[in-house]
Amino acid sequence: MLSGEIPDTIGSLQQLTHLVLNHNNLSRNIPASLGKCYKLQLLDLSNNQLSGLIPQEVASLANLQFYFNLSRNFLEGSLPMEIGKMIHVQAIDFSVNRLEGTIPATLESCEQLEYLNLFSNELQGPIPSSLSGLKTLVSMDLSFNNLSGLIPVSLRSLNMLQYLNLSYNNFSGKIREVGIFKNLTAASFMGNTFLCGEWIQLPSCSVLNTQPKDHTNRTKILAAVGGTIGFLFVCLLILGLIYRRHKVNSDAHSDILPLKLMDDKGISYQEIVKATDGFKEKNLLGTGSFGSVYKGIMDDGKIAAFKLLNLQNEEARKSFSKECKVLAEVRHRNLVKIISFCLEFGHKVLVLDFMSNGNLDTLLYSKDNLLTFREILNIAIDVIHGLEYLHQDCFLQVVHCDIKPSNILLDDYMTAYVADFGIAQIICGSDTSTSESGSTSTLALKGSMGYIAPEYGFGGKVSRRGDIYSYGIMLLEIVTRKSLTDHMFVGGLNLHKWVNMHFDNKLDEIVDTSVMKEIGEYGVNQCLIPFLLVGLECSKEYPSERPSAREVVGVLKTIRGTLLEAHENL
């Protein structure tokens, strides 16, 4: 949550070797004095609001050897020629900025460079043929720029290169089936009107005029491919988050779009079939209208959950795109982590961390695994930490829209993770802001009955307070173990009203018996009652009366402190 500018005095830290300031709200220029930190080996200023030029002094840090990441800012101007002095750097990521000018030929001096990402800028001119000297290069993404000219044939000699993306530029000429080009698909070159090569499913060179007439028609090209680009662009945005080496298996007969997330790689459908043992029923974790989820073991031994999309369901397709975007942009210890995905013709699969203790809904109503009050409290704190990040701390501000026990997953240590972002909405500013799409209506919102905030039923706007309502209902449910589908909830009676009716003198009639026995009278007064009050406050009818996620975090942590201090009395 750091804001303001990076101070010039940072240049005094001349023994500094690692500087990571990513995912903050830092603004203004990168101080040139940072170049005095000559021992820096790793520099990450990504996902901020930094503007201005990349200082020559910073680009001259010759001892950088791990990664240099300035992605997702508002940096302008040209790439400094001095960048060639970083002869030891392994990864450079300047993606999603406003950089212009040409790619400096001095990059060839970065002899140990493995990863180069310049995606989504305004770079112009040709690819320097000197880049063929980067013999250690594993991945290069130059997509969504204004680069032009012929693609240097000399790039074919980059034997280590496993991922290349030159899409959506103004390149021209023929792609020859030589060297590393033989392992690429059309996805690496799409959106370049004047490229040809029949073998790679590009237009035929015999009928295509390969001389560009107008480099300003890029918008028309994008419009022509419509919805496909919309989805691919979402997935390509994910590439801007990566600064570590990866490996992508290419398949000349598939249209797989690789997703590089941290240490993992894109995955093929064949690998998923192998991991799940042919989608055997014993590996089925659950099914729904959007698809099925299977447990599987990946080649590296990691256990994962494979979420297969039901392609016949229009809402499922929209959900997949939304979940890709949100999970790529958010990163928090209490949000489920996306490992990878597969996008091949006829198959769309999300690969997620596997949670050994399943979901909270199943555990809550299990006769064999009764939750202790301490576990309930820890789960509640984990979930609200995740919501606090989504609502107030995330680079994008996200409303989950479907908080309920079945969307809370639990790992080996009973740590809780918020999952299923298929109907999440990205908002800006206050709770009255419009959603990402510009619409404020929730008429098409598909939450879960009983958890949906009352205002949504009257066409109210998507808001953080809607998530807080769902969270409050969930708190009441997990401490009472009363299902929202219980036959008693008719005629306007709901869980909030039922708890409120019995709150003063009949707690033993509504709170789960095992919880009451566990904590005793002292625990009831000091911990359980305050906990129920949080649930009731969060699920109030009017949004303005509900607390924020940050306020809830403070109250629940106080309750946990009281519980720990009073442990000997319980």
Identical fold for domains 3-222 and 269-353, yes or no, is: no
Biggest distance spanned by C-alpha atoms of the chain: 86
Alpha-helical (H) ranges within 201-345 are 218-237, 269-275, 314-329
pLDDT score recorded for residue 212: 42
What homologous superfamily does CATH list for 269-353?
Phosphorylase Kinase; domain 1 (3.30.200.20)
CB hemisphere CA count around 28 (13 angstroms):
9
Q: What is the pTM of this model?
A: 0.54
Are the CB atoms for 105 and 128 separated by under 8 Å? Answer: yes
pLDDT of residue 492: 79
Instruction: Write out the two tokens for 413.
Output: 């240590």
CA quadruple 98, 440, 421, 544: dihedral positive or negative?
Answer: positive
What angle separates helix 549-565 from helix 529-538, to the nearest 10 degrees?
A: 170
Q: Enumerate residue ranges in the chain where pLDDT < 70.
A: 198-202, 204, 206-266, 288-289, 311-319, 321-322, 324-325, 328-329, 344-346, 395, 427-447, 566-570
CATH code linked to domain 360-569? 1.10.510.10
Q: What is the pLDDT of residue 455?
A: 87
Q: Domain 3-222 is classified in which CATH homologous superfamily? A: Ribonuclease Inhibitor (3.80.10.10)
Q: According to the model, what pLDDT value does residue 504 have?
A: 76
Determine the Cα angle at 124 with ends 121 and 126, to 5°: 125
State pLDDT tens for residues 92-111. Answer: 999 889 999 999 999 989 88
DSSP codes of every residue in 275-287 = HTTTT-GGGEEEE
Catalytic position from the list 402, 420, 431, 512 = 402
d(CA 367, CA 303): 27
CA separation for the pair 107, 122 (Å, rounded): 18
Beta-bridge partners for 25: 3
* Beta strand extents in 385-539 (DSSP E only): 397-399, 408-410, 416-418, 425-427
pLDDT digits (tens, 9 = 90+) for 255-271: 233 333 333 445 788 88
pLDDT of residue 207: 52
pLDDT at 325: 65
Does residue 114 contact residue 93 with C-beta atoms inside 8 Å? no
Based on the residue annotation, tell me whether 353 is a catalytic residue of this protein: no
Cα dihedral across residues 543, 544, 545, 548: positive or negative = positive
What are the residue ranges spanned by the domains of the chain? Answer: 3-222, 269-353, 360-569
Distance CA 570, CA 566 (A): 6
CB contact set of 165 (below 8 Å; sequence gap of 6+): 119, 140, 141, 142, 143, 187, 188, 236, 239
